[in-house]
A = this chain, B = another copy of it.
């Protein structure tokens, strides 16, 4: 049993030992979203880093064969691990709790009450581990998470082998672990104290819920803390058409202009959703270099709308991609999310050339990495983090394979065969090696058995 402490990380050793070096050879390489596939390639890691990449012609002999794990990648595609730019990992508990409902009903009558009742340290730990299992099994190697009891989430990421930007929530209501909202800033400061610089795979951050659940003063103080501590700052904004009437700001101000007026928009702020920006909002996002993360499946399922992503990219806005939590998606497969990102833009603009497969791949890899301030992930380059996925391409639905567009338009998370994070093998042949997934599923089922559902 893990100890449940919000303030102190427990970097437990993972059960499998980390090899000194991994050499993957005889595979097809996707080094970057826009680069043609490299046939018969190889890649080598040392510690947590990619050290060399090449084609068969110059395949190196391992310097230290005993400390090298050699993987024959025949029939496989080696690609950068995917990055999930927005998640509430612990909400796996609420998967399917209440489907096919309006955002306000869903949130007010189902999600907020369930959170008040069922969210505790143990729940966040186990349910975040379950999310990690699902993400690893579908090729995601880094997640940006935002929730309460975030120390438990961070610990779950440590224990499962994930890389994470873990953001403690701030909201002006009593929240899980923060019964007195006047102490929400103090709680987040303690969380940063506990996790900054403590674990190489964990970047602690701040997640202000929204401009309709946080006052202007809370938002400003939270952002000031983020700036002082050089921490990423996340906020849900412009998710629904109704939000404009709900924000705590002068009438006529848009949610995004409200954030801008408070001085919240800068390159370390990540605006989640942005489904309903107007022209002026888009200019503010572009000029401030704030990041935007869209969650197309959640936007559809909650009927929030379609974010104008092509227009954002054309204006130079930095756009990333996330799944949102399992209560509104209801899965965490970034392959599905990439497919939707691209396809939704095509129908939104009625232009089939809009948001190509490669742009979607870019959002889920390089762009997400840059947004999150983790500049050395999302591509296969020497010096980059060894966050890698191997996909089994010898399957009917991936035949024939012409190029990487297939990853967006035909592949599934289940095609991922092997996952390496920070140079460590966390999944091989679809078996998770870094922790006991069966035990985690059992814990979550036990928690779920106490919850009543919206529908039989």
- Chain A residues at the B interface, C-beta cutoff of 8 Å: 36-37, 92-93, 95-97, 99-103, 106, 130-131, 133-134, 137-138, 241, 297, 299-306, 326, 329-333, 336, 339, 342-344, 346-347, 349-354, 356-357, 394-397, 399-403, 405-406, 409-410, 412-415, 437, 440-441, 444-445, 448-449, 453, 455-456
Contacts and interface: CB of A to CB of B under 8 A. Distances in A.
Enumerate the 6 nearest inter-chain pairs by beta-carbon distance, A residue then B residue, closest first.
A400-B448, A414-B414, A300-B343, A303-B352, A133-B396, A134-B396
B333 A336 contact: no
21 contacts: A95-B400, A96-B401, A99-B409, A100-B342, A100-B405, A102-B352, A106-B352, A137-B397, A138-B397, A300-B346, A301-B352, A302-B346, A303-B347, A303-B350, A304-B347, A330-B410, A399-B445, A400-B445, A403-B453, A412-B412, A412-B413
A403 B297 CA distance: 20
Contacts of A440: 396
Assembly stoichiometry (copies)? 2
Given A331-B409, A402-B97, A349 B303 contact: yes
Given A305-B350, A402-B448, A403-B456, 20 more contacts: A36-B456, A95-B410, A96-B400, A97-B402, A100-B357, A102-B352, A106-B352, A133-B396, A134-B397, A137-B396, A301-B343, A301-B409, A303-B346, A303-B350, A303-B351, A303-B354, A331-B410, A332-B397, A399-B441, A412-B413
A154 to B, nearest CB: 19
B301 A346 contact: yes
B96 A306 contact: no
